[in-house]
Structure 1
Amino acid sequence: MFPTKFDRYVEVFGGGGWVLFGRPPDQKGMEVYNDFNSNLANLFYCVKNRTWALLRELGFLPLNSRDEFTVIRDFIDKKEFDDSYLKAELELAEHNLPPPEFEEIKAIMLENAEVTDIKRAAAFFKLIRYSYGSGCTSYGCQPFDVRKCFAAIWQASRRLANTVVENKDFEALIRQYDRDGAFFYCDPPYYETEGHYAVVFRKEDHARLRDALVASRGRWMVSYNDCEFIRELYDGYFITAVTRINNLAQRYDGGCEFPEVIITNYDPKESKNAEPRQMYLFDFDGEDEIEYEIAEPTGSESEET
């Protein structure tokens, strides 16, 4: 359902990047991944630019316990490892250690206490993998070793090699990358499910997104939950009803599907219509006149021939 031609692909609400990773790399055009969640954007940045450092950090103490999950969540929420905690530890070390040993320990503690982009990315990745439904709020109670993801992270880093990683508000991003050849794919928080997302997305933001897209010069596609509010908001544009498997409901309702809509400002069938079609012997459009000429047999040919 993507347009047939565009030279700038922009994922406005990147999330896990499933659509980005699902399409082949754009060799000639430009790709942009964006998410307003700074932890998520930082993770993608580190996967792309600090791959080996991230893998090394992920491989340190991969415990996957409830205690570790709580510590990581508090770390992401900036509730632990603050300056007061570090100050108390340094005072105790200075009081109990001779000067040479204290200076050595002090350097190690300061280095470990530094909240680098790599540490934040590793902690956030573990939080996603250890949590229930990747919601980052409750412990998943499932065994998982993050080291199993190392090959996938390496592949992702290669896939992101020529992708710009952004951390901007959707309206500012659309305005920045808008042009005639741009294509914006938007998968925003679904209407009335905004509470499941870490970033606040109000009812006014749904209208603000619509207005930003309508004012853009490029083509765009938006995926939403199918509801009256969204259909009215995008009235006048192409709306295609689809369904998908509801992953979180599979445990108690196998095969459960979720109704969605795909909204575009172009005919979503244009790519399919542009595909080459097999022509058959008797294909014609009904308007062309087909002339057949039957040759008369020569004298040397039999009547049967």
Structure 2
Amino acid sequence: MTPTRSILRWHGSKWRIAPWVISHFPPHKVYVEPFGGAASVLLQKPRTLSEIYNDLDRDLVRMFRVIRDQPDELARAIALSPYARDEYRELYEPVDDDLEATRRFIIRSFMGMNSKGALSKSGFDARTNPDGFTSRLRSLADLPEQVALVAGRFLHVLIENCDAKKLVKRYDRDDALIYLDPPYVAETRSGKYYAHEMTDADHSALLAAIDASRAMVIISGYPSELYDSAMKGWHRVETKAHTDGAKARTEVLWINPLAWSRIERNQSSLFSNLKGDAA
């Protein structure tokens, strides 16, 4: 079964628009996410022969390793976590045990006021919905079941912890799809939300590495002059999405020529098959 909700509140998560993102994926044998984050897209896409999740944030990498290797223990620890202000304060204290560190990482993302909660204190969220129920408490109650589903989905996923450009170079092959969801360009947002931010120079270096790749490449982000300028000749599509603060923003997919040609070829093949069936 596919997970039905995100295992982590994470800034920039594509959980809600993942079906839209996936609908633009061409057929592929190898799937690579250099900026894996909460794995919102990977968790919802159909399985591929080879799948690689990567992130520079060691907390994220540890979380998915613990979920994959110790799902029952983690699910029980989450189920027994009290939704309490004192508990929230303790969640940011360092701990050596990987299982407990992962529990704290996940729980504080839901107890915090915003999507930065996994990384830094944003205030304990004790708000209630009009029906009188605490929305975050409801979210936490669903998590133990989701742990098992995420563990199953990650069973054959290779988990990496390296620079994105290294992965782009490593999977330089035309049967690979590289989906990149890098930190939003600074000009498109306010504040810092990631443990590993990127400067404009970092984005430019990444784009140079992508431009040299023989793989199918799709990049997501907010509208950006830097990206539009660097990816002239790429196909560009947009959709509306809501941020953690419920603000509407435009999300963009930039699709490189190889990926777009494979998408069009696949659509043409499907159309031909439908015509054949109708005849």
Please give the range of the TM-score, normalised by the shorter of the 2 chains.
0.7 to 0.9
State which of 25, 28, 35 in structure 1 corresponds to 2:55.
Answer: 35
Amino acid at match of 2:152: R
Q: CA deviation at 1:167?
A: 1.4
Tell me, yes or no, if structure 1 residue 155 matches structure 2 residue 149: yes
2:249 match: 258
Q: CA deviation at 1:65?
A: 2.2
Q: CA deviation at 1:48?
A: 0.9
Contact (CA 8 Å) 2:241, 2:251: kept in 1 or not? no
Distance verdict in 2 for CA 1:140–1:212, change over 3 Å: farther
RMSD: 2.3
Amino acid at match of 1:221: I
2:270 match: 275
Contact (CA 8 Å) 1:243, 1:257: kept in 2 or not? no
1:129-278 equivalence runs, <5 A:
129-136=110-117, 137-138=121-122, 139-142=124-127, 143=134, 144=137, 146-192=140-186, 193=189, 195-240=192-237, 242-250=238-246, 257-266=248-257, 268=260, 269-270=263-264, 271-277=266-272, 278=274
More deviation in 151-160 or 226-235?
226-235
Q: CA deviation at 1:3?
A: 4.7
Residue deviations 1:176-208 (CA, integer Å, cap 9, x gap):
333232110001111113712222211111111
State which of 57, 63, 69 in structure 1 corresponds to 2:77.
Answer: 57
- Say which SS state the counterpart of residue 275 (structure 1) adopts: helix
Larger radius of gyration: 1
Amino acid at match of 1:265: N
Tell me the percent identity.
24
Count of matched residue pairs = 234
Residue deviations 1:47-71 (CA, integer Å, cap 9, x gap):
11111222233244x1222322222
2:65 match: 45
Q: CA deviation at 1:129?
A: 1.6
Q: CA deviation at 1:34?
A: 1.1
- Say which SS state the counterpart of residue 46 (structure 1) adopts: helix
- In the alignment, the residues of structure 1 paired with residue 110 and residue 167 of structure 2 have an alpha-carbon distance, to the nearest angstrom, of 28
Distance verdict in 2 for CA 1:4–1:231, change over 3 Å: closer
Q: Gaps spanning 5+ residues in structure 2: where?
A: 1-22, 128-133
- Say which SS state the counterpart of residue 185 (structure 1) adopts: strand
1:10 match: 32
Residue deviations 1:64-92 (CA, integer Å, cap 9, x gap):
2232222212x2xx4xxxxxxxxxxxxxx
Contact (CA 8 Å) 2:50, 2:157: kept in 1 or not? yes
- In the alignment, the residues of structure 2 paired with residue 211 and residue 3 of structure 1 have an alpha-carbon distance, to the nearest angstrom, of 22
Q: What TM-score results when the alignment is normalised by the length of structure 1?
A: 0.70
1:22 match: 44
Contact (CA 8 Å) 1:224, 1:230: kept in 2 or not? no
- Say which SS state the counterpart of residue 125 (structure 1) adopts: helix
Q: CA deviation at 1:117?
A: 1.3
Amino acid at match of 1:258: R
- In the alignment, the residues of structure 1 paired with residue 86 and residue 205 of structure 2 have an alpha-carbon distance, to the nearest angstrom, of 41
Residue deviations 1:257-284 (CA, integer Å, cap 9, x gap):
311221121253514333225449xx9x
Distance verdict in 2 for CA 1:264–1:174, change over 3 Å: same
Q: CA deviation at 1:20?
A: 0.8
- In the alignment, the residues of structure 2 paired with residue 3 and residue 148 of structure 1 have an alpha-carbon distance, to the nearest angstrom, of 29
Q: Gaps spanning 5+ residues in structure 1: where?
A: 79-113, 251-255, 284-305
